[in-house]
Structure formats: structure tokens, C-alpha cells
Amino acid sequence: MRIPPRFTLLGGAAALLSTLLAGPATAAPSAAAAVGDICYSDLPSQAHDTLDLIDDGGPYPFRQDGTVFQNRERVLPSRTTGYYHEYTVITPGSQTRGARRIVTGDTEREDYYTADHYESFDLVDHGC
């Protein structure tokens, strides 16, 4: 189970409901340049571990994991507060949380990876 739970039963209805309630989502001007794609198989193994923990609902290694990601940098598409959540991707040898994160959206399999602490993101393609 994902935290927050994914809306698999609602499918496209969740996106439609979100648009009706919050208005159409718009990306920040820098979003097109800063959001790319990455194949699941190209992620570091620690990102796979983090995605597995998210699917299992934890436990997470850091208290900040699962907290609301505010998207202050406005790199990801604009959504309502609480739509995105962040999780640490362990960086081997780092004494801190490091810069790598997975940020999830409420849509099924909407996972973003950042290796540079929110300066850029790649949408994870779970099909490759």
C-alpha cells in the first residue's frame, strides 16, 4: 500500500475530480526543462529499495519520509498542497540524508526521482 494511497479504483476519474475541484494543473515555466524521464531499471538500487518501502507502507529510515512535499521550487507540475510526498533515497557513504529523493504524486505510479535535491526531477517509467 502506498502512503498516500493511490487511487487505482478511480482511475481517470481521480484526475477529472482533481481538475474539477482544483482547476487544471499547470506546470511552472521551468518544469518542462527540469522534468525528464527515467526507466525504473536505470534508477540506483537504493531508489528501488525506497519504492519498495513506499509500496509496503514503511517503515522508513528517516522521520521526514512520507511528509508532504511542498514543491516550493515549482519544478513539478502545480498541484494542491498534500498531493506530493517525499521519501529519502539512501546515498551510500553519506552521513546525512543526502540529496536523493523519491517524490510521489497521488496518481497511480506517479513517482519522481531527484538526485540533486529538487533542482531537477525524472518521472519514473515503471514499464522499462
* Catalytic annotation, residues: 86, 117
Q: Which of 119, 96, 110 is nearest to 54 (CA)?
A: 110
Cis peptide before 92 (omega within 30 of 0): no
- The pair phi, psi for residue 22, each rounded to 5°, is -110, -5
Assess contact for 106 and 25: CB atoms under 8 A. Answer: no
